[in-house]
């Protein structure tokens, strides 16, 4: 027997087994009226009301519905409602500029556009056939309560469920087609590797637009887990809600956990969630010092994953193995800074050119209306990640060495910017760092470190360079250090290195030398 694996399965189980259990706690501080705390039974009712409303608009199966929103219960509902009815949800990065949002809406061919109230004015020029502001307008003018929506005529696990646009760290964003099967397998695997169960409480510290909140809304619903919505990352507020709601599991980029560590320094009393909270980190390789601090200062269990929008995203998973529990904290943290072992069902290898390649049921179906990029990404039956990496001969764990475009070649030597960043970050006065290659007449490229110092720090350029030379080969140390107030990141925590390089490579045909 073969039964299609669709997103519907997760909500069906939530309504069957957890109809009266706590389902979703909405963000209380938002421009639209927050929804009352709901059960999974109420979540199902609202999902069907969204579907009936889209039916009334004439938005058919296969049509795209774009949503530009901060984290909210309404966005979470739409991640179920749209694909469960055979339509395609397009969650859009709320931090994009209006022209970038317009590109996504137009490139995806969205029939309907739903916009967060806070973004409505800025996005007034972005149009679709149907346009609504999330909140009172959608609650009263779009949703149809008490109306049975039309069923999905022929549920298909290979149908596109969502189109998630890449963050554009190296090029124009591409629309990643994730199928119901992609999302189903990712959710199941994620739940397995993070040991999710009914007594967990999950908080959405990760933007839901990003890989559909990494698929966590689905697996949490399927296991009846209470979901707490956080609209904006704030370290102190995360700690407060961990305490208030008994949160046990969260996901996010390193910047999120750095914010929590900063807030914990001023927190009065015992840190909430000690020996209870599990966090999952991705989006950028975390410095080992940060990992060590999470265990020591917060008492939270740190796990790391590696993946991409194109892989739904889970490819690897890294949690301290039983055999490593007696290692010194510094050594455990170093091991956790690796990407980890391939997740269940994932096959990985490193090409002759050093690129990480992947095969799995979580790999994208293709890029929306972009067959050339699709063919290039899936050449030879493997997904080409664009990341350089190596496997540890001892235990098979993957280490991501760099984005291919971020490898710095200086004097003929390849230097991993990640390795240099990790070394600089180990300096006690460094809060943030990004390492890039800049042109140099003699060496072709040389290493520049962009550094944000911790509050009250007084480190000088010479201090940072000496710190590196004491800990790594001299050619890997930065030749210049530039101090900044902030290092720009995408909404998913990634540093946009191509933007950081632009001023130094302006007027040149290539950004390599």
- CATH code where residue 451 lies: 3.30.300.30
| Segment 193-205, tens digit of pLDDT | 999 999 999 999 9
Mean predicted confidence (pLDDT) in 395-403:
83
**Residue 308 placed within a domain:** no
pLDDT band at 510 (very low <50, low <70, confident <90, very high): very low
pLDDT band at 494 (very low <50, low <70, confident <90, very high): confident
Mean predicted confidence (pLDDT) in 112-138:
97
Closest among 191, 192, 234 to 71, alpha carbons compared: 234
Whole-number pLDDT of residue 512: 44
Lowest mean pLDDT among 71-80, 100-109, 219-228, 281-290: 281-290
**Residue 486 placed within a domain:** yes
Closest among 167, 183, 163, 162 to 175, alpha carbons compared: 163
**Residue 292 placed within a domain:** no
Considering 178, 195, 218, which residue would you say is the last residue of a domain? 178
**Residue 120 placed within a domain:** yes
Q: Return the beta strands (E) in 282-403 as ranges.
A: 301-307, 314-318, 341-342, 347-350, 355-359, 366-367, 383-391, 398-403
Cα–Cα distance, 278 to 18 (Å, whole number) = 23
Cα–Cα distance, 82 to 64 (Å, whole number) = 9
Residue 439: phi and psi, rounded to 5, are: -65, 145
| Segment 242-273, tens digit of pLDDT | 999 999 999 998 888 989 999 999 999 999 99
Q: Residue 22: in which H helix or E strand, if any? A: strand 22-25
Q: What angle do CA 122, 123, 125 make, to 5 degrees?
A: 115
Closest among 503, 496, 499, 512 to 169, alpha carbons compared: 496
449-463 b/e (C-beta count within 10 Å ≥ 16 → b): bbbebeeeeebeeee
**Residue 371 placed within a domain:** no
Mean pLDDT of the chain: 92
Whole-number pLDDT of residue 411: 66
**Residue 5 placed within a domain:** yes
- How many angstroms separate the first and last alpha carbons of the chain? 58
Mean predicted confidence (pLDDT) in 178-185:
98
The parent domain of residue 490 ranges over 408-505
Burial group, residue 355, by CB count within 10 angstroms (0-12, 13-18, 19+): middle
Which phi-psi region, left, alpha or beta, contains residue 257 (left: φ > 0; alpha: ψ -120 to 50)? alpha
Considering 178, 213, 232, which residue would you say is the last residue of a domain? 178
| Segment 85-114, tens digit of pLDDT | 999 999 998 888 898 899 999 999 999 999
* pTM reported for the whole predicted model: 0.84
Tell me if 83 sits within 8 A of 89, measured CB to CB.
yes
pLDDT band at 69 (very low <50, low <70, confident <90, very high): very high
Burial group, residue 276, by CB count within 10 angstroms (0-12, 13-18, 19+): middle
Burial group, residue 474, by CB count within 10 angstroms (0-12, 13-18, 19+): exposed
pLDDT band at 412 (very low <50, low <70, confident <90, very high): low
Tell me if 493 sits within 8 A of 253, measured CB to CB.
yes
- CATH code where residue 43 lies: 3.40.50.12780
| Counted domains in the chain | 2
| Segment 305-324, tens digit of pLDDT | 999 999 999 999 999 999 89
**Residue 510 placed within a domain:** no
Partner residues linked to 350 by β-bridges: 356
Which residues lie closer than 8 Å to 356 by C-beta, 6 or more apart? 348, 349, 350, 385, 387, 388, 389, 398, 400
Whole-number pLDDT of residue 462: 94
Closest among 133, 85, 126 to 108, alpha carbons compared: 126
Closest among 295, 293, 291 to 273, alpha carbons compared: 295
- How far is CA 195 from its chain centroid? 19
**Residue 297 placed within a domain:** no
Residue 191: phi and psi, rounded to 5, are: -60, -40
- Percent of residues, the chain, with pLDDT higher than 90: 75
Helical H segments across 58-169, by residue range? 73-84, 98-108, 136-137
Mean predicted confidence (pLDDT) in 354-362:
96
Considering 134, 152, 178, which residue would you say is the last residue of a domain? 178
């Amino acid at each position: 027997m073969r039964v299609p694996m669709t997103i519907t399965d997760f909500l069906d189980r939530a309504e069957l087994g957890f109809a009266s259990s706590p389902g979703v706690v909405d963000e209380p501080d938002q421009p639209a009226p927050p929804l009352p705390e709901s059960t999974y039974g109420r979540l199902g009712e609202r999902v069907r009301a969204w579907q009936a409303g889209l039916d009334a608009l004439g938005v058919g199966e296969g049509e795209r519905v774009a949503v530009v929103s901060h984290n909210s219960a309404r966005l979470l509902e739409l991640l179920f409602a749209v694909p469960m009815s055979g339509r395609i949800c397009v969650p859009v990065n709320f931090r994009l500029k209006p022209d970038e949002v317009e590109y996504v809406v137009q490139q995806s061919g969205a029939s309907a556009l739903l916009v967060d109230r806070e973004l409505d004015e800025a996005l007034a020029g972005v149009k679709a056939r149907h346009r609504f502001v999330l909140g009172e307008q959608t609650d009263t003018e779009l949703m149809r309560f008490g109306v049975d929506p039309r069923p999905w005529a022929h549920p298909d696990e290979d149908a596109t469920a969502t189109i998630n646009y890449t963050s554009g760290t190296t090029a124009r964003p591409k629309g990643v087609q994730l199928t119901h099967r992609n999302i189903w397998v990712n959710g199941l695997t994620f739940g397995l590797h993070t040991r999710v169960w009914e007594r967990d409480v999950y908080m959405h510290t990760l933007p839901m637009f990003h890989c559909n909140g990494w698929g966590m809304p689905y697996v949490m619903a399927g296991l009846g887990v209470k979901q707490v919505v956080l609209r904006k990352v704030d370290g102190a507020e995360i700690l407060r809600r961990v305490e208030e709601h008994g949160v046990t599991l969260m996901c996010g980029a390193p910047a999120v956990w750095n914010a929590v560590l900063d807030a914990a320094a001023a927190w009065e009393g015992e840190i909430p969630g000690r020996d209870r909270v599990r966090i999952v980190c991705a989006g950028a390789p975390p410095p080992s010092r940060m990992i060590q601090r999470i265990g020591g200062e917060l008492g939270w269990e740190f796990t790391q994953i590696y993946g991409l929008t194109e892989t739904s995203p889970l490819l690897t998973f890294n949690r301290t193995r039983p055999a490593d529990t007696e290692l010194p904290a510094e050594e455990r943290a170093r091991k956790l800074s690796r990407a980890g072992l391939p997740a269940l069902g994932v096959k990985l290898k490193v090409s002759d050119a050093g690129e990480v390649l992947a095969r799995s049921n979580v790999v994208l179906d293709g890029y929306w209306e972009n067959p050339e990029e699709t063919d290039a990404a899936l050449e030879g039956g493997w997904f080409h990640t664009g990341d350089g990496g190596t496997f540890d001969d001892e235990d098979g764990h993957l280490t991501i060495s760099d984005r291919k475009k971020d490898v710095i070649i200086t004097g003929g030597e390849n230097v991993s910017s990640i390795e240099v960043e990790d070394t600089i970050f180990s300096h006690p006065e460094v809060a943030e760092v990004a390492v890039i290659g800049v042109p140099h007449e003699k060496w072709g490229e040389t290493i520049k470190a962009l550094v944000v110092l911790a509050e009250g720090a007084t480190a000088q350029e010479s201090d940072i360079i000496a710190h590196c030379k004491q800990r790594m080969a001299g050619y890997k140390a930065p030749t210049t250090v530039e101090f900044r107030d902030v290092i720009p990141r995408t909404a998913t925590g990634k540093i946009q290195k191509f933007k950081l390089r632009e001023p130094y490579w302006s007027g040149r045909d290539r950004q390599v030398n």
